[in-house]
C-alpha cells in the first residue's frame, strides 16, 4: 500500500511498495491531507508510461492505481492530487515519484476496461434510489450502498407525494431516468445514453 501526505501543495511518500506492469486494481493508495485541504473536493492523478489517469477520492482519501499507467515497464510512476471548490481548481500539488514500474510476468490477457472518466465517476457517486430495510434507510447507486442512516423506532407514517423525476417501485423510490433525449427534456438521462450520444457526435465529426 502507498500512503501519501499532501501538505498544502507539497506531496510526500510515507509508505510505498513495488509495482509490476500488467497489474490491475491491486495497489491501494491512501492520501492524507493538511488542514489546507479542508472543504476541497480531491482528485488523485497518476502518470506512467505516457498515460495519465484521474480518480476521485472517497471520503477516506483512498483509491487504487489505474491499470493504464502500469502497462509500460521500466518507466517511472508519478502521482499528484488536486483540490477543487465549486468546480474550480484551487490547489494542485507537485508530482511525487512512486518509483519504477517493474516488468511483470506477461499473461497475454486482453486489455482491461478503461478507467471511467471523471464525469462517469461523479455520476456513479450519486444516489439513484432509497431502500428501507427495517429501521435502516440506505441511499443506493445501483446495487451499491452509498450511505445508511437508522430511522427512529416505532411506526412512521408521513404523507408524501412522488414528484416529477422520481418513481416508486415497491418499497424503493428511484430516479426516473430516461435512455434518450426525446420528450420534454426535464428528466435525468442515464450515463449509458450520454456515452452513446458522445460516441455518435465523435463519429459525425470524423466525417467532416
Identify whether the C-beta of residue 4 lies closer than 8 Å to the C-beta of residue 31: yes
Residues 6+ apart with CB under 8 A from 33: 5, 6, 42, 61
Helix (H) or strand (E) holding 114: none
> Any idea how long the chain is?
208
Return the percent helix, strand and coil in the chain, to nearest 5.
15, 40, 45
The CA distance from 113 to 9, in Å, is 32
pLDDT at 9: 96
The CA distance from 12 to 15, in Å, is 9
pLDDT of the chain, 208 residues: tens digit per residue: 999 999 999 999 999 999 999 999 999 999 999 999 998 999 999 999 999 999 988 778 999 999 999 999 999 999 999 999 887 878 999 999 999 999 998 766 655 666 766 655 555 555 556 677 776 777 666 666 666 767 666 655 555 666 666 777 776 777 777 777 666 666 676 666 666 666 666 666 666 6
| 3-state SS, residue 192 | helix
Output b/e per residue, 177-187; b: 16+ Cβ within 10 A.
eeeeeeeeeee
Distances from the Cα of 141 to the Cα of 64, 127, 144, angstroms = 20, 5, 5
| 3-state SS, residue 119 | helix
Amino acid at each position: 500500500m502507498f500512503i501519501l501526505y499532501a501538505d498544502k501543495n507539497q506531496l510526500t511518500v510515507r509508505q510505498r511498495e513495488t509495482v509490476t506492469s500488467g497489474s490491475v486494481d491491486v495497489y491501494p493508495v491512501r492520501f492524507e491531507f493538511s488542514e489546507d485541504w479542508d472543504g476541497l473536493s480531491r482528485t488523485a492523478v497518476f502518470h506512467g508510461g505516457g498515460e495519465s489517469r484521474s480518480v476521485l477520492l472517497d471520503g477516506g482519501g483512498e483509491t487504487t492505481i489505474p491499470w493504464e499507467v502500469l502497462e509500460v515497464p521500466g518507466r517511472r510512476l508519478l502521482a499528484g492530487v488536486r483540490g477543487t471548490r465549486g468546480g474550480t481548481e484551487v490547489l494542485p500539488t507537485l508530482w511525487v515519484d512512486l518509483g519504477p514500474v517493474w516488468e511483470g510476468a506477461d499473461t497475454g490477457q486482453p486489455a482491461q476496461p478503461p478507467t471511467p472518466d471523471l464525469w462517469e465517476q461523479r455520476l456513479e457517486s450519486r444516489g439513484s434510489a432509497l431502500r428501507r430495510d427495517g429501521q435502516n434507510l440506505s441511499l443506493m447507486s445501483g446495487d451499491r450502498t452509498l450511505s445508511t442512516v437508522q430511522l427512529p423506532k416505532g411506526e412512521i407514517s408521513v404523507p408524501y407525494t412522488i414528484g416529477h423525476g422520481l418513481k416508486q417501485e415497491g418499497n424503493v423510490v428511484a430516479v426516473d431516468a430516461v435512455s434518450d433525449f426525446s420528450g420534454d427534456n426535464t428528466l435525468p438521462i442515464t450515463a449509458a445514453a450520454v456515452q452513446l450520444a458522445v460516441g455518435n457526435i465523435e463519429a459525425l465529426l470524423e466525417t467532416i
